């Protein structure tokens, strides 16, 4: 683990648990007379609502009810109501803005466009698709202090496995090198602590049906594994990291008919990107080698990750991004071009944490986001969906540096095409509004003017489109 990742992880620790913060919201609504007139119910209750701060209003709304914290309307007694449309100045893309009611049984607010017996709790809004429809599964992966993301990701990515790859849990570089071996075999990668495998580790291996582990680097407690009836195959010898990466590369050639390697340096931006590089290498079944000398010794053309200077004559390509987040995006784009990798499932994780290597067990590209924030991933997820089609699942982490609630809202929006980045305007703007026609009131039937056309572009070609011939 580098000093940079240590610092990032320490900073991230303070943010643990933010996503699960309480989500208490309240709102009012827009009533109408006729199709194009605004109706505001009279009476002292509504009058008191209308004197609240204007910040609670949104473009196309004259009431004072705030937006929902997220696009979920799934709490106790919650049900979707219907929507109204606002088109003048509420969306930068000139789309038809949808404003929809999330309703709750007996909620102390106005009735709005809610089913009988419910009142409006909050609203959702969109400049694209119907904001009541969440097609993309957002699956949390829980962080644990002792194991990082390994156990949770193994549980999500592997139902059974007769083998597993293990490495020292306190030397993440050994895990980076081990990840492609696990990927080539399609088996879990597990970190083993200084005191050997824990009871939880052994239970997990037993549940998976593991009868053999392949050890990369020195691993403590191999006798415990043997006593549990698990055969230990020591893949490497010695402690030199570059040499170990060459030994793992040699083992991978017995599993996968490789024609490429991936190279990272043990320092600089290249080192910071090592977890994402390891995930890319694992998806392709390409060995991850440490340093230019190791790459030259292995002898295959290599993808060089990072801007660091190198004298490797075997470089077939190198990344061009100059920041950690953008570099992970570049690798995810390359991974999506692999012929046997689905571009419809990804994992996102805070940048700067070496724990990210545990997400290799999900078998999907790993993309890094800034601590607490979605950052460039908001636009990239939309672009990715336009290029490859709608995503089916995004794994996100609950742990150090996890997304704040507002950023989770952006993630839901980007994945489902709500185009909240196009929202604009102030309270009272975009009036009068248009009430939803009867045929458009059911969930999923709202007009989608301004929506992006998923899958409308051709994916790029890359050298990784050369398929790998597996020999398992």
> How buried is residue 375: exposed, middle or buried, by Cβ count under 10 Å (0-12/13-18/19+)?
middle
The enclosing H or E element of 380 equals helix 377-388
Please give the backbone phi and psi of residue 80, each rounded to the nearest 5 degrees, phi first: -75, 135
Share of the chain above pLDDT 90, in %: 75
Maximal CA-CA distance, the chain: 81
Length of the chain: 472
Q: Which three-class secondary structure string do you get for 24-70? A: CCCCCCCECCCCCCCECCCCHHHHHHHCCCHHHCCCCCCCCCCECCC
Per-residue confidence band for 38, with pLDDT thresholds at 50, 70 and 90: very low
CA-CA distance, 40 to 56, in Å (whole number)?
16
Q: Are 122 and 68 in contact (CB under 8 A)?
A: yes
- Which is more confidently placed, 308 or 458? 308
3-class SS of residue 394: strand
Please give the backbone phi and psi of residue 34, each rounded to the nearest 5 degrees, phi first: 75, -175
Stretch 94-101: mean pLDDT, rounded? 94
Whether 21 has a pLDDT exceeding 50, the answer reads: no
347-387 residue pLDDT tens: 999 999 889 999 999 999 999 999 999 999 999 999 999 99
- Which is more confidently placed, 23 or 450? 450
Quote the pLDDT of residue 29: 29
Q: How far is CA 376 from CA 117, 157, 326, in A?
A: 42, 26, 8
269-287 residue pLDDT tens: 999 999 999 999 999 999 9
Residue indicated by tokens 């900073």: 11
Quote the pLDDT of residue 332: 96
Share of the chain above pLDDT 70, in %: 85
Stretch 417-436: mean pLDDT, rounded? 90
Quote the pLDDT of residue 309: 83
- Which is more confidently placed, 427 or 203? 203
Residue indicated by tokens 């991230």: 12
Quote the pLDDT of residue 9: 38
Of 73-77, 346-350, 358-362, 431-435, least confident by mean pLDDT is 431-435
Per-residue confidence band for 471, with pLDDT thresholds at 50, 70 and 90: very low
Stretch 84-95: mean pLDDT, rounded? 90
Quote the pLDDT of residue 460: 63
pTM for this model (two decimals): 0.85
130-184 residue pLDDT tens: 999 999 999 999 999 999 999 999 999 999 999 999 999 999 999 999 999 999 9
Residue indicated by tokens 């599993």: 255
**Mean of the per-residue pLDDT values for the chain?**
86
Report H helices in 38-185. 44-50, 150-157, 172-185
Q: Which residues of 200-232 are buried (b: 16+ CB within 10 A; e: fewer)?
A: ebbebbeebebeebbbbbbbebbebbeeeebee
Whether 393 has a pLDDT exceeding 80, the answer reads: yes
Whether 57 has a pLDDT exceeding 80, the answer reads: no
103-131 residue pLDDT tens: 999 999 999 999 999 999 999 999 999 99
Per-residue confidence band for 64, with pLDDT thresholds at 50, 70 and 90: confident
Q: Are 389 and 454 in contact (CB under 8 A)?
A: yes
Stretch 248-275: mean pLDDT, rounded? 94
Stretch 60-77: mean pLDDT, rounded? 91
Whether 54 has a pLDDT exceeding 60, the answer reads: no
């Amino acid at each position: 683990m580098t000093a940079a990742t240590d610092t990032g992880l320490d900073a991230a620790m303070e943010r643990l648990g933010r996503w699960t913060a309480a989500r208490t919201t309240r709102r009012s609504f827009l009533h109408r007379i006729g199709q194009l007139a605004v109706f505001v119910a009279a009476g002292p209750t509504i009058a008191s609502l209308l004197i609240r701060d204007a910040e609670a209003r949104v473009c196309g709304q004259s009431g004072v009810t705030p937006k929902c914290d997220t696009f979920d309307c799934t709490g106790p007694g919650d049900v979707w109501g219907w929507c109204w449309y606002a088109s003048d100045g509420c969306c930068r893309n000139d789309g038809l803005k949808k404003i929809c009611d999330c309703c709750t049984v007996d909620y102390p607010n106005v009735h709005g466009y809610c089913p009988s017996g419910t009142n409006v709790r909050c609203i959702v809004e969109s400049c694209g698709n119907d904001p009541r429809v969440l097609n993309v599964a957002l699956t949390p992966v829980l962080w644990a202090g002792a194991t990082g993301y390994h156990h949770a990701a193994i549980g999500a990515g592997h139902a059974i496995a007769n083998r597993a790859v293990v490495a020292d849990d306190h030397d993440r570089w050994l895990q980076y090198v081990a990840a492609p071996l696990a990927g080539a075999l399609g088996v879990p990668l597990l970190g083993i602590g200084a005191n050997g495998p824990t009871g939880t580790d052994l239970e997990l291996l037993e549940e998976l049906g593991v009868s053999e582990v392949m050890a990369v680097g020195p691993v403590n407690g191999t006798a415990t594994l043997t006593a549990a009836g698990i055969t230990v195959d020591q893949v490497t010898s010695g402690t030199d990291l570059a040499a170990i990466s060459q030994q793992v590369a040699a083992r991978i050639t017995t599993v996968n008919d490789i024609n490429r390697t991936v190279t990272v340096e043990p320092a600089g931006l290249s080192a910071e990107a090592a977890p994402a590089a390891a995930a890319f290498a694992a998806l392709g079944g390409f060995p991850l080698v440490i340093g230019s000398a190791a790459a030259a010794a292995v002898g295959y053309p290599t993808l060089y990750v990072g801007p660091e200077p190198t004298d490797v004559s075997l470089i077939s390509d190198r990344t061009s991004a100059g920041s950690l987040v953008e570099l992970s995006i570049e690798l995810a784009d390359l991974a999506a071009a692999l012929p046997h990798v689905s571009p419809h499932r990804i994992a996102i994780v805070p940048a700067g944490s070496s724990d990210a290597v545990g997400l290799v067990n999900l078998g999907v590209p790993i993309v890094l986001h800034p601590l607490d924030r979605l950052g460039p991933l908001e636009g990239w997820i939309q672009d990715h969906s336009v290029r490859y089609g709608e995503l089916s699942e995004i794994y996100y982490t609950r742990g150090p540096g996890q997304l704040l609630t507002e950023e989770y809202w952006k993630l839901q929006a980007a994945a489902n095409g709500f185009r909240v980045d196009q929202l604009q305007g102030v309270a009272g703007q975009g009036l009068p509004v248009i009430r939803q026609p009867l045929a458009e009131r059911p969930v999923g039937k709202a007009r989608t003017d301004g929506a992006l056309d998923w899958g409308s572009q051709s994916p790029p070609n890359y050298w990784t489109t050369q398929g790998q011939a597996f020999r398992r």
